[in-house]
């Protein structure tokens, strides 16, 4: 069973759509292995976005993700990474299809509602940044 990290970003919390988003993953058949609301520290955010350190938008990413609480969750199921990324839709909500999370709930690339790990390696690193082994169920 594959696991992946999902973050319902501060804009999902502000809009009050986090429950609807979680519901979509449960209805799809994924199991929630861990879930918590957290306020990220700058260090956690920088580690989370470490692959973007040299990009011009890095500071903006870190500032946004640390601006207010978010919901971190680990889901588990068959092809969890690929399936969840399809459910999320394109990173830029303007390009995201209706029916996807970003297509339905987001308006711009800076505040695009949700993050999902893009590979097994990223999922493993990102899960460890948010959860201890004891916090994971399954």
Nearest to 68 by CA among 39, 42, 108, 32: 39
Q: Is 52 a catalytic residue?
A: no
Question: What is the dihedral angle through the alpha carbons of 93, 65, 127, 84, rounded to the nearest 10 degrees?
Answer: -10
Helices (H) and strands (E) in the chain, counts: 7, 4
Catalytic residue among 115, 123, 126, 131: 115
Numbered residues of the known binding site: 9, 57, 85, 91, 102, 112
Numbered residues of the known binding site for ATP: 9, 57, 85, 91, 102, 112
Residues with catalytic annotation?
115
């Amino acid at each position: 069973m594959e696991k992946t990290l999902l973050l319902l970003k501060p804009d999902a919390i502000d809009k009050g759509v986090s429950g609807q988003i979680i519901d979509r993953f449960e209805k799809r058949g994924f199991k929630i292995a861990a879930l918590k609301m957290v306020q990220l520290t700058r260090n956690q955010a920088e580690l989370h976005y470490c692959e973007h350190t040299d990009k011009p938008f890095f500071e903006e990413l870190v500032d946004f993700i640390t601006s207010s609480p978010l919901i971190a969750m680990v889901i588990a199921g068959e092809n969890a990474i690929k399936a969840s990324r399809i459910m999320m839709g394109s990173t830029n909500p303007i390009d995201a299809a209706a029916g996807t999370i970003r297509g339905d709930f987001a308006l711009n690339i800076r505040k695009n509602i949700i993050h999902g790990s893009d590979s097994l390696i990223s999922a493993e690193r990102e899960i460890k940044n948010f959860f201890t082994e004891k916090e994971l169920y399954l």
